[in-house]
Chain A
């Protein structure tokens, strides 16, 4: 996975923003979502991201991998993220 080429990510105090320069829409991210985007940019897949984020975020229900998958799915549906092969 990777960010679509027209999407820019910037870290902010509250987490981060994704700026879709195609539609000029801005999406705000909380700290957890920003961390996921950071990991995607580093080339990691869902299970690698979940494993790494377990160290930084509480996951008492063991839901982190599902949450990561859900966020990535949403970003893909919005066209902000693409499969690397695409």
Chain B
């Protein structure tokens, strides 16, 4: 899984202007990391996913479909499957079919290595809303350096297969010291490949990035140039491709979320539910609690003083994000 400033690949539903999320009867968006297994071992992976990295306690088939049934019953309008690499999950296509047939809008977030022509046609037939592919670079050199075991050409071919099948495409781009200069070319490439959206933001100090930070993180000067280029490209592609940039730093994002929690649940491969990817707090366990119970817990958990204390501590030491995987149960 890639990362943006929100700590995930997805922007998440913005809190409605006049209503708080605690007035909603259920989440509007469930972001489900279906497995921690991945065919790649990316330098910046927020989840420390990789080959052989599936959790020992990932959900059984019965548990998976019980949760999907609850998502449908609770009328959750929007769902994403990510990982790890979601397409390596043995139940992936069954899960996609289950939710799409029941009217849930589904986004798949993938590294693009399993987007064969056949799989793309299948995703189109099943009716996925969009497939988001991580493409961190405009060249083989930078992409393959960042996405260990990954292959730029295979990813690009996968995106082309999506286009041929008529599936809506979104591109996610994580900036680093060695690919930041390619941002303009990457936006152009995304457009050429037929992408509808391009997402990017600041890379976060967590997961694999903790170990690789010194060689990975762009300088502030690089970020400035990158954001300036993105603003220019946003104008250039206005009306053709949405360019969504999370310029806020993590701290600003979390402070905003403390006041306005998004109506979004993050489900981990073992059924634990996190408040937000960029915090270590867990507000429920779908193996033992219903989605409804966890939604109530979610509202309460955001008001727990430990959450705001953690954000305050993060203001003093940005390296606190290195412990996001040491879960704290609220």
Could you tell me which A residues sit within 8 Å of B by CB distance? 6, 8, 10, 12-14, 17, 19, 21-28
Contacts and interface: CB of A to CB of B under 8 A. Distances in A.
A28 B13 contact: no
Contact of B19 (A6, A10, A23, A28): A28
A23 B14 CA distance: 10
A10 B71 CA distance: 13
Interface residues of B, number: 25
B16 A24 contact: no
Contacts of B29: 24
B80 to A, nearest CB: 10
Binding site secondary structure of chain A: strand
Contacts of B105: 6, 8, 21
Contacts, number: 52
B75 interface: yes
Interface stretch (B20-28, B32-40, B55-63, B311-319): B20-28
Contact of B77 (A13, A19, A28): A19
B15 interface: yes
Contacts of A14: 19, 23
Contacts of A28: 16-19
Interface of B: 10-19, 23-26, 28-29, 75, 77-78, 105, 107, 129, 196, 242, 263
Q: Which of A13, A14, A19, A25 neighbours the largest number of chain B CB atoms within 10 Å of its CB? A: A19
B28 A12 contact: no
A24 B13 contact: yes
B15 A10 contact: no
B13 A26 contact: yes
Nearest to B23: A14
A21 B24 CA distance: 17
A49 B15 CA distance: 29
Contacts of B12: 24
A71 to B, nearest CB: 15
A31 to B, nearest CB: 13
A19 B13 contact: yes
Contacts of A6: 105, 129
A21 B262 CA distance: 15
A25 B77 CA distance: 12
Contact of B23 (A8, A10, A12, A25): A12
